[in-house]
Amino acid sequence: MPWRNASIQADLLEAANQLLERVDEQEIAVKFLGGLAFKLICPSSAEGSLSRDNNDIDLAVRRKDVSKLKKLVETMGYEYPLRSNALHPDQILYVDNQNKRQVDIFVDGFQMCHKLDFRHGLEDEGPTLPITELLMTKLQIAEITDKDLRDIGAALFDFEIGSGKHDIHDAQITNITSTNWGVWKDFTGNLMKLKNRISKLAPDKAEVIALRADSLLGLIAARPKSARWQIRARIGERMQWHELPQQR
């Protein structure tokens, strides 16, 4: 049962800061992801043509900290819907019924259309996963929407592609796209969709975003592909290459 004196902030950013303060007090390694995370670290996602509404909170946590995090969010007033969580041990759902909000907790990594391992990113500084990993959570979406394309566009507009601490690390992206054909298929497909639609979504930022999308596509294409990738490529779309997440 939620702590009877708990009070969750109605404003999303205030609720996120409230949660962040509590996990810091408990020394739990938690990182934001999802649309809120882009808003926190991408200036162009916070306002302007690439901004969008957010309502839910997505978190990544190490497996060893799951029990502590669950206890903490319950004392804050978030409720645990047992039926919704029965079949999802690595993606835990909590709800804030007062503010009609969900909190999704991803354990050790991220799995929706593809499974991505983000344990290393949980050790980084800052309130969110690193920008490279945030970008990958959007590029892996099989049925991408304009709001997701806006997040990808914000990442490409606000961060350069390179190897610096605060860059989008192309080596991390091309490592997985050169070994996993399904990931390559959706990453490259979504970058192409972004190029085709960015002039309508954010005409004031379209040129920079399209150039960086092209650059990333070129780096992905240039990276030699593994034998496993090439075998799977021969099968192509005759076999399903991703999962479609169920609504919870």
Which positions ≥6 away from 83 have C-beta within 8 Å? none
Helices 131-139/181-201 angle, 10° precision: 90
Cα atoms found within 13 Å of the Cα of residue 150, Cβ hemisphere only:
23
Helices 206-222/170-177 angle, 10° precision: 50
pLDDT band at 90 (very low <50, low <70, confident <90, very high): confident
For residue 130, give the amino acid letter.
Answer: P
Q: Identify whether the C-beta of residue 244 lies closer than 8 Å to the C-beta of residue 143.
A: yes
Which regions of the chain carry the CATH code 3.30.460?
1-128
CATH 3.30.460 fits 1-128, yes or no: yes
pLDDT digits (tens, 9 = 90+) for 182-197: 999 999 999 999 999 9
Largest Cα separation within the chain, whole Å, is 59
Say yes or no to pLDDT of 241 above 90: yes
| Of 81, 41, 75, 38, the residue nearest 58 (C-alpha) | 38
What pLDDT is attached to residue 82? 66
What pLDDT is attached to residue 246? 64
Q: Which two tokens stand for residue 136?
A: 């990958």
CA 111 to each of CA 44, 66, 108, 159: distance values in angstroms, whole numbers, following the listed order: 26, 16, 10, 24
